[in-house]
Copies of this chain bind each other. A is one copy, B any other.
Amino acid sequence: MNSSKTIIENALPAGAGSPELRMWVRLLACAKIGEKQLRRRFEDEFDTTLPRFDVLAALYRSPDGLRMSALSRSLLVSNGNVTLLVRQLQEQGLVHARTDPQDARSAIVSLTETGRERFFMLAEAHHSWISEIFVGVPDSRMQELGLMLGELRSLLGGDV
């Protein structure tokens, strides 16, 4: 219990207080808090989930449909996960899968008319929740953040 021991006891972990660590911790916290709110509202008001909404949104952006692997890439989730989500949406009649005539291994998934209507309804609620969650953030700040996160995102690669 001499002084050198005390110094060891009080040692800081690597990176404590570094700008990149602080930024990352905050980014993650904001994402978690927002996601938590959205999850609750999707559940309470529409008995659905954010991941399922994400699938509908991706399919909406591709009117000709998407193969499972394209869907998986665009949502940043695994193939197996997409299989599950698509199956659920299929059971609800919101999406439709047909075998690619050019390649029997691939399924092409697209929105049904019901799915399209459902997506519009969900998207409206989703947007209003986002606005609510970020009420108090000035529009100029929102623009700045959007710009900087856009840069960050393209730097991270991931999709595209």
Cβ-based interface call for A88 (8 A): no
Which of the residues B29, B76, B137, B152 comes within 8 Å of A137, measured between beta carbons?
B152
Cβ-based interface call for A22 (8 A): yes
Known: A15-B126, A123-B13, A145-B148. A134 touches B20 (CB 8 A): yes
Expressed in whole angstroms, the Cα–Cα distance for A146 and B137 within the complex equals: 16
Expressed in whole angstroms, the Cα–Cα distance for A26 and B154 within the complex equals: 10
| Shortest Cβ distance from A33 into B: residue | B158
Chain B residue contacts of A134, Cβ below 8 A: 20, 23-24, 152, 155
Chain B residue contacts of A136, Cβ below 8 A: 155
B33 x A130 contact (CB < 8 A): no
A30 x B156 contact (CB < 8 A): yes
Cβ-based interface call for A46 (8 A): no
A146 x B26 contact (CB < 8 A): yes
A150 x B26 contact (CB < 8 A): yes
A13 x B76 contact (CB < 8 A): no
Which of the residues B21, B32, B143 comes within 8 Å of A76, measured between beta carbons?
B32
Which of the residues B15, B126, B142 comes within 8 Å of A127, measured between beta carbons?
B15
B34 x A142 contact (CB < 8 A): no
Cβ-based interface call for A133 (8 A): yes
**A8–chain B nearest beta-carbon distance, Å:** 10
A34 x B28 contact (CB < 8 A): yes
